[in-house]
Homo-oligomer: A and B are copies of this chain.
Amino acid sequence: MQNFNIKELAKALGLSTSTVSRAFRDNSDISKETKERILAKAREFNYQPNHYASNLREQRSKTIAVIVPELANNFFSQAIHGIERVARDKGYHILIYATEDDYEKEVSFIRHLHNGRADGIIMSVSGEANDHTYLNELSQKRLPLVFFDRVYEDIITPRVITNDYDSSFSATEHLIKQGCKKIAYLVINKNLSIGKFRMQGYIDALAKYEIPFDDRLVVDCTNSYAKNNLILKRLLVDVGPDGVFTSVERLAFATYYACYDLNIQIPQQLRVIGFSSLEIAPLLNPSLTTVTQPATKIGIEAANLLFKMLEAPETVDPNEEIVLNSKLIKRRSTEK
């Protein structure tokens, strides 16, 4: 099937393809009348310059790839929303990839993107990876990359993160001030930078108030709801913390469920605080005290940074790091 292309349009107008092409781009010389005539005809036939032909010729795709661990997650969907807004304003399109925390998929996505499909990548890394050298292949080709939130520390590229250490310190301190003496820290992957920073804030806050660190209170959880439920119940029964600080939203929910199951009252018997982007945290039973990251803002900043790399690479320091502040929002789950 023959498509309606620039040749057809040129023929219909009695012009050459070069003239028609010029009508769609601003830089070249073409008379106003001719341009109008061409654009009118194009609208009539609903003609759009073929994206693949122009990109092949121009060597850029006006597309950015967004790689995230999961989609059905408040933080990431808000961040993507921010990215999408910036991209649309710039006339860029976004490709979405979900790794589901699978290292193989992450590598495979990145490798695929070497084929010119995207001009740049915005990525929040999966937790499982150990060997990140595949990303350096990337930088050889200079495909611009921006990390957000979850980063690999050994890869040098601009990043947008939040003040995780401070937030964790404050969150832990808040629990302590509310009277907690045995505070558990729940994490999904201790090795990921984000887990480490958040944990350090927790540790240092304990130290400041001279609360001894107990590693039975640091619990490495999984992505499985059922397993987490078991792990948490065991923690609550065997170790018996009086406060819980969760490094990811999902673990705060898991804590609620475990408490419901065990008939433990929040906040009377257990105070809970967690990193979370849930907009309806006030509606929970009890309303959840959160460390809330500016998710949409993070997406916007990451996209802006990537566009800066695309438009003026020399102005971007590869070590550039934008740090946004999370907010500690106190609610009933940590009341005295």
Which A positions have Cβ atoms within 8 angstroms of B? 3, 46, 48-53, 55-56, 59, 61, 63, 70-74, 77-78, 80-81, 84, 88, 93-98, 105, 111-112, 114-117, 137, 140-141, 253, 256-257, 260, 278, 280, 282-287, 296
Contacts and interface: CB of A to CB of B under 8 A. Distances in A.
A51 B94 contact: no
B52 A56 contact: yes
A173 to B, nearest CB: 26
B48 A111 contact: yes
Contacts of A78: 71-72
A265 B214 CA distance: 42
B112 A48 contact: yes
Contacts of A253: 280, 283
Given A111-B48, A283-B253, A84 B96 contact: yes
A48 B114 contact: yes
B46 A114 contact: yes
B55 A52 contact: yes
B50 A71 contact: no
A284 B140 CA distance: 50
Contacts of A286: 285
Given A51-B117, A94-B95, A285-B283, A77 B71 contact: yes
Contacts of A257: 282-283
Please provide the 8 A-B residue pairs with the shortest distance between their CB atoms, ordered closest to farther.
A285-B285, A48-B115, A52-B56, A71-B81, A51-B115, A77-B77, A52-B55, A51-B117
A111 B46 contact: yes
A259 to B, nearest CB: 10
21 contacts: A46-B114, A46-B140, A46-B141, A48-B114, A53-B56, A56-B56, A71-B77, A72-B74, A72-B77, A72-B78, A80-B96, A94-B95, A94-B96, A95-B95, A95-B96, A253-B283, A256-B280, A257-B283, A285-B285, A285-B286, A285-B287
Contact of A81 (B46, B98, B112, B296): B98
A116 B48 CA distance: 9
A286 B286 CA distance: 9
Contacts of A55: 52
Pick from A98, A140, A287 the residue with the most CB of B within 10 Å.
A98
B52 A61 contact: yes
Contacts of A140: 46
A273 to B, nearest CB: 15
A71 B81 CA distance: 6
A19 to B, nearest CB: 19
Contacts of A117: 51-52, 93
A50 B283 contact: no
A77 B73 contact: yes
A41 to B, nearest CB: 15
A53 B115 CA distance: 10
Given A81-B98, A96-B96, A49 B115 contact: yes
A84 B56 contact: no
